[in-house]
Chains A and B, each alone.
Chain A
Amino acid sequence: MSSPPAKAAAGNAAYLSIQDVVKEFDGYKAVNHVSLDIAKGEIFALLGSSGCGKTTLLRLLAGFDAPTSGRIVLNGTDLADMPPYERPINMMFQSYALFPHLTVWQNIAFGLQRERLPKDQIAQRVEAMLKLVQLGKFAQRKPHQLSGGQQQRVALARSLAKQPQMLLLDEPLGALDKKLREETQIELVNIIEQVGVTCVMVTHDQEEAMTMASRIAIMSEGRFLQVGAPADIYETPATKFVADFIGNVNLLPGTVETDEADHVIIACADCRHYVGHGITGTLGMPVTVALRPEKIHVTRSKPADDFNTAHGTIKELSYFGSFTVYHVELASGLRLKVSQANTVRHKDDELTWGDAVWAHWSRSAHVVLTQ
């Protein structure tokens, strides 16, 4: 579903370059020394909880606010003194900000009319946009006569009509309900890729970011915590915060017991981890082992390997249909979240509350975090 990873790496020259940008509001740094290069054609997501500075950064790109310090360069042009109405950037607003007194057609034409293009050219362009978002039949409707999904498509068509060098999306699917959101995610990516526009989106929804973006920046308190492809961020989070923020994770504190070039052994309260790769650390160093729930298996019988296994009791069980999440309480009192795909319809010997089980995981399942 997500864009081919090749796209992220393609075109090493930065198309958009954010250089050490700071935005202060009354002494509070909403954006705190942020630097980022985005390649042409990339779909880049700024992901973070509310108040992390992602929307502020987007507004700096659009030109609604000016950075306190730092530079923003698009395609070789410094945007510093360029007001929003001169920037070759268009934005799709959160909850769309469609002009309520104008028809769908007029909304899409608005930006083109500001360029004083000839009438037939505007008409041609608007028709093309209406076709792209499949709203031809609704051209003469007013925004309030459209459904949420249709409004979203008008907003997209309006922001693409001027063929901007960069498209900004502010919580593009935030106003839609879950079912429609999933369909629209794919449709939106298809349209953006069809047009080939470079895109920066802001979202608090990690699924949305992972599905749509070729690269993601995790933001917190005005800073980037990690920038990378969705799979990199999920499988190799750099910090405990990122590991915890993206998806579900078990965080097990421990110390380095053996430190070899090709493996390390980490001792925790309930188990000993055999990690099949070296880490940059020293013997006796306190670390955190991150384990994703879907990478752990539960069985009644003791696994063969003495490493990477822990004994406990099922205290909690949540059935989600396609998978079940077990909360296994270990001897130390720590609870391990384990998710198991339900591959058969009704197992004879189903695990249930109070069962004593063994949890085990492979030697490549862990991420060892030092911060």
Chain B
Amino acid sequence: MAAADPSLLKRLATGRMAVIGIPYAWLLLFFLLPFLILAKISVSEMENVSFKDLITYKDGLLQLQLKLSNYVFITEDALYYKTYIASLQYAAATTLLCLFIGYPFAYFMARAKASVQPTLLLLVMLPFWTSFLLRVYAWKGLLSEHGWVAEALIGLGLDQVLAGLGAITTPGKLMNTPFSLVLGMTYTYLPFMILPLYGNLAKMDLRLLEAAADLGATPWTAFWKITVPLSMAGIVAGSMLVFIPCVGEFVIPELLGGPETLMIGRVVWDEFFSNNDWPMASAVAVVMILLIIVPLALFNKYQAEAREVAR
């Protein structure tokens, strides 16, 4: 490359900063700020319909008042603890199911003839053409008594298996169970798993598999030793895209989960809109966000360190 004009480089750098900076500013404004407001509400005292100020100055006394009772209550009441655990479990189950269904799908899509790949990609995105709410609602009909899917599953005796796994409580009844909830979430979030995996697998250098075969690896070994490790970035990206929204999911548990399956999104909703206890609702939400963000941040740090070591 020819020696670049330094002022041009500078301008390019500024341009790049702007392109990256604008979305960051957006995220800061509409994620971090509301989060801070939420955090503030969670430690505020209610006074009729407004919140007391956190910091007061009276008679030469500067007071910072943080009401931590909501957080204390969350740790004391087993309901919250159980709901958090359940949310994480449902989200984890959904992520694993999406991975097991999505990986082979993305794999064969990426290895399909180049001419059919755009069609396959279109089919994956096809559900987005209908409202998400409508599609989740449709599952209600399919899974309720005399619904097609319910009849088929029961006809095949699969409800016994599901009951054995603890995914439904009584055989013959599929709606409003952990099964219907996880099914709905898996159905909804599957494309978010497939797309990053496909993007990753499609650009893999297939000569590496030939090299592995040449060195004595059977196709099965080559898959586990080469393809899977090299698609780890896609697995991580897809899993996060599924896991994170699933933990806080509200609509699907509301429509398909029924009263038995408590998820934290619904608890937040109830606290806000049924109990009108905003500080409590905020505290529940803050804990949820921390539950997701802290492991994520640690994971990112680990990844960055691993990359640093590799470099």
Binding site for B on A (CB under 8 A): 62-64, 83-86, 89-91, 93, 97-101, 110-111, 114-115, 142, 145, 158-159, 162
Contacts and interface: CB of A to CB of B under 8 A. Distances in A.
Interface in B200-236: 205, 207-208, 210-218, 221, 225-226, 229-230
Given A64-B213, A162-B215, 4 more contacts: A90-B214, A91-B211, A91-B214, A111-B216
Contacts of B114: none
Contacts of A84: 210, 213-214
In terms of DSSP, what is the predominant structure of the interface of chain B?
helix
B interface, how many residues as a size bin?
10 to 19
B213 A99 contact: no
Given A114-B221, A145-B311, A97 B210 contact: yes
Contacts, number: 56
A114 B230 contact: no
B304 to A, nearest CB: 16
B125 to A, nearest CB: 30
A305 to B, nearest CB: 56
A115 B216 contact: yes
A111 B216 CA distance: 6
B208 A111 contact: no
Given A142-B310, A158-B215, A162-B216, A99 B210 contact: no
Contacts of A64: 210, 213
A110 B298 CA distance: 32
Nearest to B210: A64
Contact of A93 (B207, B216, B218, B221): B207
Contacts of B225: 110
Contacts of B310: 142
Contacts of A90: 214-215
Given A64-B210, A93-B207, A93-B210, A101 B216 contact: no
A100 B213 contact: no
A112 to B, nearest CB: 9
Contact of A111 (B215, B218, B311): B215
Shortest 9 CB-CB contacts between residues of A and residues of B: A111-B215, A114-B216, A97-B211, A84-B213, A97-B207, A85-B213, A101-B229, A91-B214, A85-B216
Nearest to B214: A91
Nearest to A141: B310
B211 A85 contact: no
A62 B214 contact: yes
B305 to A, nearest CB: 15
A110 B215 contact: yes
